[in-house]
A and B are shown apart, each in its own frame.
Chain A
Amino acid sequence: MKKRWFISVLAAMTVMLSACGSSGGPAASSGSGGEANSGSDQVELRMMWWGDQARADLTNKALELFEQKHPDIKVVGEFSPQDGYFDKLNTQLASGTAPDVFFLGGNVVDYANKGVLLDLQPYKGNELKLDDMDTTMVQYGTINGKLVHISAGANARGIVINKTLFEKAGIEVPQDGWNWEDYARISKEISDKLGKGYYGTYNFTTDGMDIYLKQNGKQLYDMANNKLGFEEADILPWFQYWDQTSKAGGVVTPELQVSNPPNDASKSLIIKGKVAMTLLPSNMLASYQSLTQDELTMVQVPRGPKGTGVVFESSQGMSGYAKTQHPKEVAELMDFWINDPEAVKILGSNRGVPVTAEGRKTLEAEASAADKIVYDFTSRVSEANKKEPFAISYNPPGNAEFIKLADNTVQLIGFGKENVEKAVSDFFAGTVKIFQSNQ
């Protein structure tokens, strides 16, 4: 009796166990199979992006329009702030529940290498028309010979200038063609003239690292040969430059850089009128301008030996999930995103300048003042690229860990915990380690 009881409990447990073990499969497929309530052909897609509420409003509006034009497809949008977005995406990819379409940035290579992106080649020219898309952008989305990424906007990084602060300090706004000595000098002048609490520039050692390397004929990541594109000695001067400029007094203190990070628009000291310059992707200018009364503008990055090192490049784009049930519909959605004039109008240049010539024409017709500054800036960068071309860059594998290491190194130096040489030597060793473990 006792035994029988025990066995029956055991049997019950086994049933339970196997029930919870296999529940992932059918549930997942029924989810993406659609509710099949209306017509049996209704397909449901999930799309995920990062950004703020303003971007979400635009995106949802565009998705509604897409549903109107494609009554057989329903799109469910999900979004989260950039912090945490990739953790969420990684978790979903690992559990096989990733959205059908998701946005990626310069880290697309990390995902392409892991084979989780949908090959869009079969749909090119049919559902997905790329004839009007800039060829450099098509190339950018082609990784290891597969088309896996469709850019949703292009931008170029430059120096955002708070003109109002420059006027207050009585300093002339810099022009394209300046160099890093000018940058350090002007930063210090601003800090000195405006006094306590005002600074010339944020510290962008990490964000500007690839630009600096390209200005000196190197790069972060040599994708063609799958190796690091620089040595310790190549990067040391960049850290030294920021250390010296900081010590001279032109740079935001490390504490302020932490409490008011430059990429958080709600806290940025550029917007609060306390910092005059920093590195900014051009697609962010309009939203920055909308948050401040101060007048902002953009100037090209200071030059190094080989030029500015900045390219007009994809800011972010869409990729499909390799395991999506509806690859054709995914391609249709991407096509709509870049080619449909109404969609282009709704989305504006929130994710960057449109990647099709037609799209740019549509937007230029009704550009705001800030948009015009951006168009003017990006066309200057494009012009400069014709004379001084630079390769388009991808983030190295293990990008998240690499960024963390770089930020740590900047803070080690900034808070005076280590001298530059020692910190950079550790930084380079760490970079090599991260790179190798992500092969």
Chain B
Amino acid sequence: MRTSRRLPIHSHNRTAYAFLLPWLIGFFCLTLGPMLGSLYLSLTKYNLLRPPEWIGFANFKQIFTNDATFTHSLQLTFVYVLLSVPLRIIFALLVALALNKGIRGLGIYRTVYYVPSLLGGSVAISIVWRQIFDSEGVMNAFLGWFGLEGPAWIANPDYLIYPIVTLSVWQFGSAMVIFLAGLKQVPADLYEASQVDGAGKIRQFFSISLPMLTPVLFFNLIMSIINSFQAFTPAYVIGDGHGGPLDASMFYTLYLYLKGFSYFDMGYASALAWIMLLIIAVFTGIIFATSRFWVFYGDGKGGR
């Protein structure tokens, strides 16, 4: 080959592409195609069984002007995200701090706390949750010891959100493992220096641990927000599967699913999906945009 002098670079590229290929195939076949398909469908009336009919932006118009369930499900999903994300992150951070004290058997604890993250999204755990929070379940029996009468957590629309949020918080494991790794990276000499200057534990946490953890916090925050917006299984299984009782489990994703697969309105469901995508993009964008003000990379340059 004449260009053999430049080969090293190309062979690097080639290797990189080879490694990227599985992902690229997945992206083009399994993600981009269906996404473009759903973008088209969102502009049609498509009942799954007849060919789609072009209706322009009518679905979007309907969603924004004349759909109380959309508004409700969006509100519910926001409440869920605003409750579950901070709680999960705080919980994960507290447990990580506790485990970072150099206790014995750290590996076991780390594994035990991580397991819920693997199981939490499953149907089986959601069913267990349903049993725990049933009006005659473990939770109310526990409250009974203190002389409290717990409500019908699952059956009463006013309370249903709490079992679902606790299920989400219980899956703090993956965030915790990442926090723990972050804490291990904080140089010990910072703590020693601050101790010499007379800083207490709390001062150390806010002035050293937390700033040093912000990149990790940034990552966890984004992942948690995306996950929470997309929560489906807990709502589907802990609720009655149709968003009930009284739409208390009508999360955005569940509404989208029902519209598409139960109510024969896939065009409408596709439009809902694109709105969700934009909402998640906006939230992620906001966090990215503000990150330069609060994420500290320790290289003196601030963000990025």
- Interface on A for B, CB 8 Å cutoff? 1-2, 5, 9, 12-13, 16-17, 20-21, 83-84, 86-87, 90-91, 93-94, 110-111, 114-116, 254-259, 261, 398, 400-401, 404, 407-408, 411-412, 415, 417, 437-438
- When distances are taken between beta carbons in the complex, the residues of chain B under 8 Å from A408 are 244, 246-247
Q: Is B182 an interface residue (CB 8 A)?
A: no
User: Please, could you name 8 A-B residue pairs with CB atoms under 8 Å apart, sorted by A?
Assistant: A13-B24, A20-B33, A259-B134, A259-B154, A404-B258, A408-B247, A411-B244, A411-B245
Taking CB atoms and an 8 Å cut-off, the chain B residues in 236-288 that contact chain A are 240-247, 258, 261-266
Instruction: List 9 tightest A-B contacts by C-beta distance, closest first.
Output: A258-B155, A94-B48, A255-B155, A114-B49, A255-B152, A259-B155, A20-B29, A401-B263, A411-B246
B155/A400 in contact, CB under 8 A:
no
B263/A398 in contact, CB under 8 A:
yes
Taking CB atoms and an 8 Å cut-off, the chain B residues in 24-44 that contact chain A are 24-25, 28-30, 33
B28 → A minimal CB distance (Å): 6
B275 → A minimal CB distance (Å): 19
A89 → B minimal CB distance (Å): 10
A13/B155 in contact, CB under 8 A:
no
> A1 and B3 in contact (CB under 8 A), knowing A17-B33, A83-B241, A87-B261?
yes
A154 → B minimal CB distance (Å): 27
A116 CA to B48 CA in the complex, in Å? 11
The residue that A94 contacts in the complex, of B49, B240, B243, with Cβ under 8 A, is: B49
- When distances are taken between beta carbons in the complex, the residues of chain B under 8 Å from A116 are 49
- When distances are taken between beta carbons in the complex, the residues of chain B under 8 Å from A94 are 48-49, 266
B14/A415 in contact, CB under 8 A:
no
The residue that B29 contacts in the complex, of A16, A90, A257, A407, with Cβ under 8 A, is: A16
Q: Is B135 an interface residue (CB 8 A)?
A: yes
A3 → B minimal CB distance (Å): 12
- Interface on B for A, CB 8 Å cutoff? 1, 3, 6, 10, 13-14, 17, 21, 24-25, 28-30, 33, 47-50, 134-135, 152, 154-158, 240-247, 258, 261-266
A84/B244 in contact, CB under 8 A:
no
A398's nearest neighbour on chain B, judged by CB, is B263
The residue that A5 contacts in the complex, of B13, B47, B135, B152, with Cβ under 8 A, is: B13
> A258 and B244 in contact (CB under 8 A), knowing A91-B261, A115-B50, A438-B264?
yes
The residue that B241 contacts in the complex, of A84, A91, A257, A415, with Cβ under 8 A, is: A84
A276 CA to B48 CA in the complex, in Å? 42
Mostly, the A contact residues are helix
A437 → B minimal CB distance (Å): 7
A415/B246 in contact, CB under 8 A:
yes
Give 6 new A-B contacts, CB below 8 A, not counting A91-B48, A258-B155, A258-B156.
Answer: A9-B17, A21-B33, A114-B50, A115-B50, A400-B262, A408-B247
- When distances are taken between beta carbons in the complex, the residues of chain A under 8 Å from B156 are 255, 258, 415
B10/A13 in contact, CB under 8 A:
no
A1's nearest neighbour on chain B, judged by CB, is B3
A243 CA to B261 CA in the complex, in Å? 32
- When distances are taken between beta carbons in the complex, the residues of chain B under 8 Å from A13 are 24-25, 28
A20 CA to B24 CA in the complex, in Å? 13
A114's nearest neighbour on chain B, judged by CB, is B49
A17/B47 in contact, CB under 8 A:
no
A1/B245 in contact, CB under 8 A:
no
B300 → A minimal CB distance (Å): 37
B7's nearest neighbour on chain A, judged by CB, is A1
- When distances are taken between beta carbons in the complex, the residues of chain A under 8 Å from B240 are 258, 261
A98's nearest neighbour on chain B, judged by CB, is B49
A157 CA to B50 CA in the complex, in Å? 34
A10 → B minimal CB distance (Å): 11
A401 CA to B268 CA in the complex, in Å? 14
A69 → B minimal CB distance (Å): 33
A93/B33 in contact, CB under 8 A:
no
B245/A258 in contact, CB under 8 A:
yes
The residue that B10 contacts in the complex, of A1, A110, A261, A417, with Cβ under 8 A, is: A1
B135/A259 in contact, CB under 8 A:
yes
B250 → A minimal CB distance (Å): 10
A49 → B minimal CB distance (Å): 18
- When distances are taken between beta carbons in the complex, the residues of chain B under 8 Å from A258 are 152, 154-156, 240, 244-245
- When distances are taken between beta carbons in the complex, the residues of chain B under 8 Å from A256 are 155
- When distances are taken between beta carbons in the complex, the residues of chain B under 8 Å from A259 are 134-135, 152, 154-155
- When distances are taken between beta carbons in the complex, the residues of chain A under 8 Å from B245 are 254, 258, 411, 415
B154's nearest neighbour on chain A, judged by CB, is A259
B28/A17 in contact, CB under 8 A:
yes
A89's nearest neighbour on chain B, judged by CB, is B261
B244/A90 in contact, CB under 8 A:
no
A5/B262 in contact, CB under 8 A:
no
A299 CA to B50 CA in the complex, in Å? 43
- When distances are taken between beta carbons in the complex, the residues of chain A under 8 Å from B247 are 408
A21 CA to B247 CA in the complex, in Å? 38
- When distances are taken between beta carbons in the complex, the residues of chain A under 8 Å from B135 are 255, 259
A5 CA to B30 CA in the complex, in Å? 24
A5/B14 in contact, CB under 8 A:
yes
B257 → A minimal CB distance (Å): 8
A411/B157 in contact, CB under 8 A:
yes
A254 CA to B154 CA in the complex, in Å? 12
- When distances are taken between beta carbons in the complex, the residues of chain B under 8 Å from A438 are 47, 264
B295 → A minimal CB distance (Å): 35
B123 → A minimal CB distance (Å): 11
B243/A404 in contact, CB under 8 A:
yes
A15 CA to B64 CA in the complex, in Å? 40
A407's nearest neighbour on chain B, judged by CB, is B244
B93 → A minimal CB distance (Å): 36
A87 CA to B25 CA in the complex, in Å? 29
- When distances are taken between beta carbons in the complex, the residues of chain A under 8 Å from B157 are 411, 415
- When distances are taken between beta carbons in the complex, the residues of chain A under 8 Å from B263 are 398, 400-401
